[in-house]
Chain A
């Protein structure tokens, strides 16, 4: 388990609901490079900070309801990586 895996699960959870738009939104997060399928290519910043920015991006674009699926996706990773406050 890693931040890459956590991010991919978060993006996949959002893509299930919002389609390719969810990947496009995540591609706008600084320090995060994703391919079109939502797989992480590079993580160029601290994992917690990137995950926190990813949550903020989704909430800004989709509303607070987005955190429901993001928290659910993060649950499986909670004992392996540090989660930002927004996902706790």
Chain B
């Protein structure tokens, strides 16, 4: 047999990863309301580090989810892995947008014009992530508990 996936260990790692990513979101978005001129150099660096850490973690999570999807295609676990990969992808996109704006001054959402609309799009990305992760978990929990959602 090739790569062995321990489902319970993988679930634990996923929970840890989600917790860590949640903290990153809080830290990353909590500082984003401050203007660059108000932020200290330390906070500026911390924001970039948070964005890049969030981006890297999301890409790594998406990579493992894609591997699991290939291994367990045709089953609920494969469907959940697909949703996890999609959620991690939108999460990575959100962090990429934030860091492009913060680190390089490239506002990829400029075409939207209105600040509220930009924030809404960002929140939509996070909402998509939360929905995808929640759906992935619910599918596995449902089939293990005997009641598919």
Whether A associates with B in a native complex is yes
B77's partner among A17, A60, A72 (CB-CB below 8 A) is A17
In the complex, the answer to whether B75 meets A17 with C-beta atoms within 8 Å is yes
B75's partner among A18, A60, A61, A68 (CB-CB below 8 A) is A18
Number of contacting residues on A, CB 8 A? 21
In the complex, the answer to whether A62 meets B75 with C-beta atoms within 8 Å is no
In the complex, the answer to whether B144 meets A19 with C-beta atoms within 8 Å is no
Q: Is the interface of B mostly helix, strand, loop or mixed?
A: helix
* Cα A55 to Cα B11 with chains together (Å): 20
Cβ distance B70 to chain A, nearest Cβ, rounded Å: 10
B78 at the interface (CB under 8 A from A): yes
Tell me the residues in window 5-48 of chain A with beta carbons closer than 8 Å to chain B beta carbons. 15-22, 24-25, 28
Q: Is the interface of A mostly helix, strand, loop or mixed?
A: helix
Tell me the residues in window 55-101 of chain B with beta carbons closer than 8 Å to chain A beta carbons. 71-78
In the complex, the answer to whether B74 meets A15 with C-beta atoms within 8 Å is yes
A20's partner among B5, B73, B143 (CB-CB below 8 A) is B73
Interface residues of A (CB under 8 A from B): 15-22, 24-25, 28, 60-66, 68-69, 72
Interface residues of B (CB under 8 A from A): 1, 4-11, 71-78, 140, 143-144, 146
* Cα A60 to Cα B8 with chains together (Å): 11
CB within 8 Å for A21 and B4 given contacts A63-B9, A65-B144, A68-B144: no
CB within 8 Å for A62 and B73 given contacts A19-B78, A24-B1, A68-B144: no
**Interface contacts beyond A17-B140, A63-B6, A64-B8: sample of 19 additional A-B pairs, CB < 8 Å, sorted by A:** A15-B74, A16-B75, A17-B77, A17-B144, A18-B72, A18-B75, A19-B77, A19-B78, A20-B73, A20-B74, A21-B75, A25-B1, A60-B4, A61-B4, A61-B5, A65-B8, A65-B11, A68-B144, A72-B146
